[in-house]
Structure 1
Amino acid sequence: MNRSKYFEYIDEKIHTLAHRIQTKGKLNILNLHLHSENFYLHFFNLLYGYELINLNSSAQNVEAIDLIDHKNKIIFQVSATCTKQKIESTLSKDIFKKYNDYSFKFISISIDATDLRTKTFSNPHSVSFDPKNDIFDIKTVLNYILTENIKTQRELYEFIKDELGGEIDIVKLDSNLATIINILSLEKWDDTHLDDNSNSFEIERKIQFNELDDAREVIEEFCIYYKKVDEKYAEFDLLGANKSNSVLNSIKKEYRKLKKTENKDDIFFNTIENIKNKVLISNNLNNIPIDEIELCIDILVVDAFIRCKIFENPKDYKYVTT
């Protein structure tokens, strides 16, 4: 395994975690944030040689401080909110009187912090804090990893694989998923594609039956494209037998893997995430911006939901009007 493969995997997984954090309404943000605290604790200990512990493990919800290294006298805050106001609010907390000889560092776990590193911050307790060097984000961490030797990158890869799952795919293969994404990406998804045949009452019944709350907004937004997706599938099937069926089966397969997850919204959004990962490692994916890829995948998964391919159907469910 070469350096580039290890780094590509690390890059993908860190950005995936950041994406999940950014979509706050789609996942349980509190649980995800707590997971991120512990992830970055071990990640930074491994990467920078710190001896961080989670302060919340001994004292719940300590203000301003998430991680602490008593040996190196470092305090970390892990946050999905990356603003000047957030950092200044943290620096104003009285708890810093207790740790006045510690340095403060801030980790932005979802948003680029380049602009923040150029700002001056109110620091009433005169905490040791250098914005240029003490504000971390994904970009700075990955740039640091990029310069590390292959042994360190391999150790980071093994850690992230255990924490976040998945393996590196050495050989990229063609997939029908990528082909349909290529086709859908050429379409203009706006009001001209509205579908008058979608049965909003039946779709609402299925949403309620499966207790989907956070996913409701996405389903309602993209179910209107059912007819257009159906047309694209028909075109796709002209390329060979079972083309559209293989795509729907791939979506159903990822859903089945997650089916036992307790939170139904997590199942829905993790299905989307897993399909995205499959598409991104496909050899035949065109050069498409990531936000357009995500749009097309959202449309495909919602379509699979409407077509009875994923999630349970209420009695006598009919997804289109006749």
Structure 2
Amino acid sequence: MNRIDYHKKIIAALSWLKTQVEMHNSLSLTDINHGAEDFYCGLLNLVYGYNLININISDQNAAAIDLGDEQNRISIQVTSTSALSKTKYTVEKFIEKELYKKFDKLLILNIVKKTNHASTRIGGPEYCIDTKTDILDVEDLIKKITSNPDVQKLKSIADFLDSELSLPTQQSLPNEVLTILGIIEYISDEKHEDAGTGYLEEPIPADKIYNRFANHSDFLVNMYNTGYIEYGAVLEAVKKESDFGQVKLRRAANYLKKYSDAMLTKCGGDPKTALDQIIVDLSGFLGNNGYTFDEGAAEFYVIEQLMKCNIFPYKAPLD
């Protein structure tokens, strides 16, 4: 089934790149964003049949857009920032430079994850964008690509990704880790009927949060409570309805105990630093193995396991 193989390769490659952009940006390493312009120029031409070029190279005055296809009158801003202020700035500059006279359509491609803006239209009488259809992200691209019935087109896209990206060799992960990654992918499903319905009257942290990690208790409790609203109900549904089973869940918990304890020791007993590193590691595993997820889901799963003493298993209180 060549089609399925191409789908897997494409999803794994684009998910890996998305994770790399997130990690680089979190460390204020933004060079990867500039390189992404040429990469996505080639990819979008393949996917949509455009004739885009990198306008930044030929026209420094086109501040609002990065890519342009004058033949099809399409322009695209490539960004890793999803804030409403960034969207407004892009549209304002597009109007200020009168680029609407050259291009009929402005699209914004977020190479990480887009935000669902409350405003459906942004702009003025000269030009405005529809925030529901004119802002795309990697997930939208993957859906567009994998819905294409043309196997040769899928092959050409897979070949392009293979030539452009130096993906790490996919790791052979223990079943316990695959269970963890599967749970995180599951609770990342924003379309799940329980997504965003979690409600917690008061925090339920274990004693160790207030004793062992007293200096970080506010940070840890706030992180848990914030995540519970978005992901808590979905995680409970996973435990009740999914096919992971109690044996898999128990083995995953045992793995986390050993792994997190070693990470805490490595980080000098600082739970915040250790948690950050665990989340980075899990995000890397997810991206490298083709899982679709969001950072918030990974963070919540980790902190939820901390509350259950499966991360940083309880020992004598630290002085």
TM-score interval (norm. to shorter): 0.5 to 0.7
Q: CA deviation at 1:57?
A: 3.7
Q: CA deviation at 1:65?
A: 1.8
1:90-141 per-position Cα deviation (integer Å, ceiling 9, x unaligned): 3322252xx833333312312166987x6474253x69x8888755444543
**Partner Cα separation in structure 1 for residue 57 and residue 294 of structure 2:** 40
Do structure 1's residue 177 and structure 2's residue 177 form an aligned pair?
yes
Code of the aligned partner of 1:156: I
**Partner Cα separation in structure 1 for residue 298 and residue 15 of structure 2:** 15
Q: CA deviation at 1:64?
A: 0.6
Equivalent residue pairs, number: 263
SS in 2 for 1:151: helix
1:230-263 per-position Cα deviation (integer Å, ceiling 9, x unaligned): xxxxx99xx78x994687569989xxxxxxxxxx
Partner of 1:90: 93
Matches within 5 A, 1:223-302: 244=254, 248=258, 270-277=280-287, 292-297=297-302
**Partner Cα separation in structure 1 for residue 261 and residue 6 of structure 2:** 27
**Unaligned stretches of 5+ residues in structure 1:** 204-216, 223-234, 254-264, 282-287, 308-317
**Partner Cα separation in structure 2 for residue 159 and residue 175 of structure 1:** 32
Q: CA deviation at 1:273?
A: 1.1
What is the aligned-residue identity percentage? 20
Answer yes or no: is the 8 Å Cα contact 2:68–2:74 preserved in 1: yes
Answer yes or no: is the 8 Å Cα contact 1:68–1:76 preserved in 2: yes
**Partner Cα separation in structure 2 for residue 273 and residue 90 of structure 1:** 35
Partner of 2:158: 157
**Partner Cα separation in structure 1 for residue 158 and residue 70 of structure 2:** 27
Code of the aligned partner of 2:92: S
1:5-26 per-position Cα deviation (integer Å, ceiling 9, x unaligned): 4224434554565567678973
Matches within 5 A, 1:44-63: 44-57=44-57, 62-63=62-63
Answer yes or no: is the 8 Å Cα contact 2:54–2:66 preserved in 1: yes
CA RMSD of aligned residues (A): 5.7
Q: CA deviation at 1:272?
A: 3.1
**Partner Cα separation in structure 1 for residue 141 and residue 21 of structure 2:** 17
**Partner Cα separation in structure 2 for residue 143 and residue 181 of structure 1:** 21
Q: CA deviation at 1:75?
A: 2.5
CA gap of 1:132–1:279, structure 2 versus 1, over 3 A, is closer
CA gap of 1:62–1:193, structure 2 versus 1, over 3 A, is same
Code of the aligned partner of 1:296: Y
Do structure 1's residue 144 and structure 2's residue 144 form an aligned pair?
yes
Partner of 1:259: none
